[in-house]
C-alpha cells in the first residue's frame, strides 16, 4: 500500500512533535534537575499567577496529592508562595517569588536556546508559512482556558504577540519585552 502525501505529513508531524518535545525536556532538565513537572509548574504559575492548586493539578495532569507535594517542594525552595485566595479564603493561590521568577526566566531561556537552532535550518522564506501552520495547529488543540494553559505550559507568553490562546482570556500576554 502506497502512502499518500497526507500519510507522510502525519508521520512527519508526529516525529516533529516528539523530537521537539524531547529537545525541550532535555534543555529544561539542565536548568531544573528536580524533574517531573517542576519546570512546567514554574512556567504555568508565572504565566497565570493566582492559580489554585486544583487548577495547577488539571493543567499539569497530575493527581491533586502529587500537585500538593510538588507545590510544597517549590515553597520549600522559595520559588512559589501560597496565599489564601481573595475570592475564597479556603483556596490557596500560587504566585512566584522573585527567585521563582528568575528560575522561570532561566528555564525559558534554555528552551529558547534548544529550539532556535532547529528553526535556523528553515529557509527564511519558509518561516512565515511555518509560523502560520504552527499557529493553526496550536489553536486547534485546547478546548478551554485550562487546556490552553496545558498546551502552553512551556511557553513564554511575553514573546507571543497575537497568541492563539488569547481567545480563552486566561492566556492574554502580560506584555512583550
Q: If residue 107 lies in a helix (H) or strand (E), which one and from where to where? A: helix 98-119
Q: Say how far apart CA 111 and CA 39 lie, in whole Å.
A: 11
Identify whether the C-beta of residue 81 lies closer than 8 Å to the C-beta of residue 97.
Answer: yes
How much is the pTM? 0.83
Topology classification of domain 34-157: Arc Repressor Mutant, subunit A (1.10.10)
Strands (E), 30-149: 51-52, 80-84, 92-96
The angle subtended at Cα 44 by Cα 40 and Cα 49, nearest 5°, is: 150
- Each residue's pLDDT tens digit in the chain (177 positions)? 566 668 889 999 999 999 999 999 888 887 777 777 899 999 999 988 889 999 999 999 999 999 999 999 999 999 999 998 888 888 889 999 999 999 999 999 999 999 999 999 999 999 999 999 999 998 899 888 888 888 888 888 888 887 777 777 654 333 333
Residue listed under C-alpha cell 493566582: 50
Domains of the chain, by residue range, sit at 34-157
What is the pLDDT at residue 46? 93
Helix (H) or strand (E) holding 55: helix 53-60
Amino acid at each position: 500500500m502506497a502512502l499518500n502525501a497526507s500519510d507522510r505529513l502525519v508521520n512527519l508531524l508526529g516525529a516533529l512533535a516528539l523530537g521537539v518535545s524531547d529537545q525541550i525536556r532535555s534543555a529544561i532538565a539542565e536548568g531544573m534537575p528536580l524533574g517531573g513537572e517542576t519546570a512546567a509548574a514554574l512556567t504555568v504559575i508565572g504565566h497565570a499567577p493566582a492559580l489554585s492548586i486544583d487548577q495547577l493539578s488539571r493543567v499539569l495532569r497530575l493527581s491533586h496529592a502529587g500537585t500538593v507535594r510538588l507545590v510544597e517542594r517549590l515553597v520549600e525552595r522559595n520559588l512559589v508562595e501560597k496565599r489564601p485566595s481573595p475570592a475564597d479564603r479556603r483556596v490557596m493561590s500560587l504566585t512566584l517569588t522573585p527567585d521563582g521568577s528568575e528560575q522561570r526566566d532561566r528555564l525559558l531561556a534554555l528552551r529558547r536556546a534548544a529550539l532556535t537552532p532547529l528553526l535556523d535550518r528553515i529557509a527564511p522564506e519558509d518561516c512565515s508559512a511555518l509560523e502560520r501552520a504552527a499557529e493553526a495547529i496550536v489553536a486547534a488543540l485546547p478546548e478551554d482556558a485550562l487546556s490552553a494553559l496545558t498546551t502552553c505550559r512551556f511557553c513564554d507568553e511575553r514573546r507571543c504577540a497575537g497568541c492563539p490562546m488569547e481567545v480563552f482570556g486566561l492566556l492574554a500576554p502580560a506584555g512583550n519585552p
